[in-house]
Amino acid sequence: MTRFSKAGYVLATAGSAIGLGAIWKFPYMTGQNGGMAFVLVFTLAFLLFGISVFIVEIFFGRTSGQNAFKTFEDLAPKNMRFLKFGGLMIFSGVLIFSFYVVVLGWLLHYLFLVIDGGLPKSLDTAQSLWTEFVSGEIFYQLLWHFVIVAICAYVLSKGVKKGIERLNLILMPLLLLIFIGLLGYSMLQDSFMQSFEFLFTPDFSKLNAKVIVEAIGQAFFSLSLGVGVILTYSNTMPKEGNFIRYAIIIALLNFVFCLMAGLVVFTFIFGYGAEPSSGPGLVFISLPLIFSHMGTAGEIIALLFFIALIFAGITSAVSMLEPFNAYLMEHFYWSRKKTNLFSVGIAYILGVIALLSESLTFFDKNLFGWFDYITSSFMLPLAGVFMCIYMGWVLKKDKVYAMSGGYLKGIYFQTWYFIIRFIAPIGIIVAMINLI
Ligand code: TRP
C-alpha cells in the first residue's frame, strides 16, 4: 500500500474539504436562513462538532488502515458486529457526487460565458440568464454535466492521489489569492457594511430548528465529513506528523473561505438590490455581477476564478467517491477501472435523472434539492453521531487514547473526548428532534 507523503495528505484532505461547499453552498444557505443566525450556529457546529468529528475520522482511518466499511467491522467488539453497517454511509458520497457535479457543470457553462465575453452587466440580465439556463437549457446542462463527470472519471482513473496533489498545489493558493482580492474590492463598496451586518450583527429572531439543523449539516458538508472521506484518506496517512494540527489548519482555512465567500457575495447582492434568499442560483447571479462591475480586469479575474473553482470542486467531487471505491476494490477485488466505471456510472445516471426532472418539485424541492437536503442535513450529521458514539462509548477510553498516537494529550484529549461523547451526539440529535 502506498502511503501519502505529508504534503500529499494535507493537500488531498484540503482539496476534498475546500470546494463548492464554502463558495457556492455556504452563501446561499446563509441567505436562505436569514444571515447571522445561520452563521452563528454554523460557526459553533463547525468548531465544536466539525473539527471533533474530523479527528474521529482520522483516528478511525489511521488505526484501521482499511476502507470505511472494514474499519467499522474490524474495530467492533465481538457482540457488536452490527456496527459494521455504519459503513453504509459510504453510499451518501455517491448521492452527493451526483448533484455536486451538476453544479460544477453550471460553473463550466459560466466559464464559457466569460470566454465569450457574455458576463451580464445588470441584475436583470444576470437573473434572467440564470433562470433561462436552469429552466430552459437542458441540453447544455446535460452536456456540461457529462464533461465534468468525464473529467472526474479521468482523475479517478489516474489514481486520485498523485493527480490531485499536483493540481491543488497551484490552484488552492490561486483561489485563496483571488478571494483575498475580491474581499478587498468588496470592502471598497458601499454595500460592504450591509453584508457585514447581515452576517454578523446579532439577530436571534431568525433562530429556529430548521436553521440549526441546516447549519450543522453545512458544517459537515464543508468539512467532507460523514461519508468516510477523511477516514479513507487517513488510512494511508504518513505515520509521523502532527495530523491534529493539519486537521485544524485545514478546517480553519475552509472556514475562512466560507466567511470570505459570504462577505463578497452579499456585498454585491445588496449592492445591486438582489434577494439574499434566492437559493442555489445566488452565487451564479452575484459572481458575474461582481466581475462585470470590475471592468476589463474583471474578465481576467473571472476566468481564473472559474477555472480555480472548478478544479477545487473536482478535487472535492472525486474524494466523495473514494470511500465507496475503496470498498469495492478491497471487498470484491475489482480493478480500479471497473470500480470507477461502476461508481461514476451510478452517480452519472442519478445526475441525469435529476437533471431531466429538474422542473418537477415535490414539497418545494426537486430531486436535487432532496438529494442535497437529505444528505447534508441528515445523513452526514447522523453518520457523525454514529462515529462519535462508536468511538466515545463502544471503544474503551485507553484504546481511543492509543489511537491518538500521542498527538492529542491532556486537557485537549479530555475536551475532545467530552465533545464526542456528549456534546456532539446530544446536540445533533436534539436539533433534529426539534425539527419534527
Ligand atoms: N467538502 C466539500 C466542499 O465543501 C464537498 C465534499 C467533498 C463532501 N467530500 C465530501 C461533502 C464528503 C460531504 C461528504 O465542497
Q: Which domains does the chain have, with CATH numbers?
A: 6-435 (1.10.4160.10)
The answer to whether the beta carbons of residues 211 and 38 sit under 8 Å apart is: yes
CB atoms within 10 A of CB 434: 12
404 Cβ contact partners less than 8 Å away, ≥ 6 residues apart: 59, 244, 413
Nearest atom of ligand 1 to the alpha carbon of 17: 1
C-alpha cell at 319: 474524494
Confirm or reject: Cβ of 227 under 6 Å from ligand 1: yes
CA of 389 to the centre of ligand 1 (A): 22
Q: Ligand 1 within 6 A of 17 CB?
A: yes
Query: Residue 87 to residues 49, 267, 407: CA-CA distances in angstroms?
Result: 20, 42, 26
Mean pLDDT of 360-379: 86
Nearest CA to ligand 1 atom 10: 224
Determine the Cα–Cα distance for residues 342 and 153; give it in Å rounded to an integer: 10
> What are the φ and ψ backbone dihedral angles of 365, each rounded to 5 degrees?
-130, 145
**Dist. CA 15–CA 223, nearest whole Å:** 10
pLDDT of residue 30: 95
Chain-centre distance for alpha carbon 365: 20
Report the Cα 162 to chain-centroid distance in Å: 21
Tens-digit pLDDT profile for residues 140-157: 999 999 999 999 998 888
Bridge partners (DSSP) of residue 365 are 362
Q: For residue 160, is pLDDT > 60?
A: no
Reduced to 3 states, what is the DSSP secondary structure of residue 258?
helix
**40, amino acid identity:** L
Q: Which ligand 1 atom sits nearest the alpha carbon of residue 313?
A: 15
Atom of ligand 1 nearest to the CA of 24: 15
Residue minimizing CA distance to atom 2 of ligand 1: 17
Per-residue pLDDT, 393: 94
Instruction: Let me know: does 155 contact 161? Beta carbons within 8 Å.
Output: no
Mean pLDDT of 79-94: 86
| Ligand 1 site, residue 232, Cβ cutoff 6 A | no
What is the percent of the chain with per-residue pLDDT over 90, rounded to a whole number? 56
Question: How many angstroms separate the CA atoms of 241 and 92, rounded?
Answer: 30
**93 compared with 76, residue with greater pLDDT:** 93
- Region 167-189: mean pLDDT is 87
Dist. CA 102 → ligand 1 center (Å): 14
Chain segment 232-291, per-residue pLDDT in tens: 999 888 888 888 999 999 999 999 999 999 999 999 899 888 888 888 889 999 889 888
pLDDT for the residue numbered 248:
94
Q: How far is CA 322 from CA 161, 233, 234, in A?
A: 10, 8, 12
Q: What is the largest CA-CA distance in the chain?
A: 66
| Predicted pLDDT of residue 163 | 63
Expressed in angstroms and rounded, the spacing between residue 411 Cα and the centre of ligand 1 is 30
Q: Which residue has the cell 494529550?
A: 409
Determine if residue 207 is left, alpha or beta; phi over 0 gives left, psi from -120 to 50 gives alpha, anything else beta. Answer: beta
Tell me the Ramachandran region of residue 239: left when phi exceeds 0, alpha when psi lies from -120 to 50, beta otherwise: alpha
* Number of Cβ atoms within 10 Å of the Cβ of 341: 16
Q: What is the pLDDT of residue 435?
A: 84
Ligand 1 site, residue 281, Cβ cutoff 6 A: no
| 72 alpha carbon – ligand 1 mean position (Å) | 21
Measured in degrees and rounded to the nearest 5, phi and psi for residue 362 equal: -120, 130
- The response to whether residue 13 sits with its C-beta less than 6 Å from ligand 1 reads no
Residue 15 Cβ inside 6 Å of ligand 1? The answer reads no
What would the mean pLDDT of 51-57 be, rounded to a whole number?
Answer: 96
- pLDDT for res 137: 82
Count Cβ neighbours within 10 Å for each residue of 133-164 and write b for 16 or more, e otherwise.
bbeeeeeebbebbeebbebbbebbeeebbebb
Q: Which atom of ligand 1 lies nearest, measured to the CA of 317?
A: 7
Mean pLDDT (whole number) for 39-43:
96
42 Cβ inside 6 Å of ligand 1: no
**167 has a pLDDT exceeding 80:** no
Among 46, 101, 164, 227, name the best residue to mutate to test ligand 1's pocket (greatest count of ligand atoms within 8 A of Cβ).
227
Give the separation between CA 142 and CA 355, rounded to whole angstroms. 7
Alpha carbons 32 and 277: distance in angstroms, whole number: 4
Note the pLDDT of residue 48. 94
